[in-house]
Amino acid sequence: MESLKGQLLLAGAGLFDPNFRRTVVLIGDHGEEGALGVVLNRPSAVKVEDVVAPLAPLVADGELLFVGGPVQPQSPVILAELAHPELADVLVFGSIGFLTGEVKEKPLDAVRRARVFAGYAGWGPGQLEQEMEESSWIVEPALPEDVFTDQPDGLWSSILRRKGGPFDLLATMPVDPSTN
């Protein structure tokens, strides 16, 4: 399978795992050893400044911490758009990449915008490929506005509408189809 790095995975209609139901995952790395990414549309109820104060200078005042996935939820993950993409520790696409290690090591003025996540989503060798074969995920190229959307709760539906065609109908599916 071709690498999905830099792509969005949208949870398909049959994906009922509560960790991923109606999620949009940005894939940051994908290879023979597995894949990892962050869930873009799960803001928490807490502000970055209240739980990881050292990272607050990277984000706008009052920015919420996002739930990046079920793996290592106690660890912060930083995704940033950079004026100098070569400063990313893991470049995902364009000028967007992950920052790792000590934030003080990076020039903060190079960060155009950033989002902080609690944990990440991860797949072992072959696991994501198996889920793709089961049609658990819908693939769409990532855009910077997807990563830093001001409307994370509507991101899943918005991207499905962008894909068009049969995905327009899926975008209107209620969270619990039995209530339809």
Domain ranges for the chain:
7-179
Q: What is the pLDDT of residue 101?
A: 75
Amino acid at 132: M
Q: How would CATH label the architecture of 7-179?
A: 3-Layer(aba) Sandwich (3.40)
Q: What is the pLDDT of residue 149?
A: 97
Q: What is the pLDDT of residue 9?
A: 98
Amino acid at 105: E
Split at pLDDT 50, 70, 90, the class of 168 is confident
Token reading at 86: 């070569």
Q: What is the chain's percent helix, strand, coil content, to nearest 5?
A: 30, 35, 35
Residues 23-45, mean pLDDT to the nearest whole number = 97
Strand, helix or coil at 97? strand
Q: What is the pLDDT of residue 37?
A: 98
| pLDDT over 70 at 106, yes or no | no
**Residue partners of 86: CB distance under 8 A and separation at least 6:** none
Give the residue among 56, 48, 52, 58 at the shortest CA–CA distance from 107: 58
pTM to 2 decimals?
A: 0.94
Token reading at 104: 């003080």
Q: What is the pLDDT of residue 178?
A: 57
Q: Which helix (H) or strand (E) covers residue 145, if one does?
A: helix 144-147
| pLDDT over 70 at 42, yes or no | yes
Q: What is the pLDDT of residue 98?
A: 95
| pLDDT over 90 at 117, yes or no | yes
Task: Give the model confidence (pLDDT) of 51-105 as tens digits.
Answer: 999 999 999 999 999 999 999 999 999 999 999 999 899 999 999 999 987 766 5
Split at pLDDT 50, 70, 90, the class of 180 is low
Per the CB < 8 A criterion, the answer to whether 16 and 28 are in contact is no
Give the residue among 73, 108, 109, 78 at the shortest CA–CA distance from 96: 78
CA angle 115, 131, 157 (to 5 degrees): 50
Average pLDDT, the chain: 93
Would you state the torsion angle of the CA atoms of residues 151, 153, 154, 157, taken in this order, to the nearest 10 degrees? 150
CA angle 7, 12, 18 (to 5 degrees): 100
Round to whole Å and give the CA distance between 56 and 37.
Answer: 22
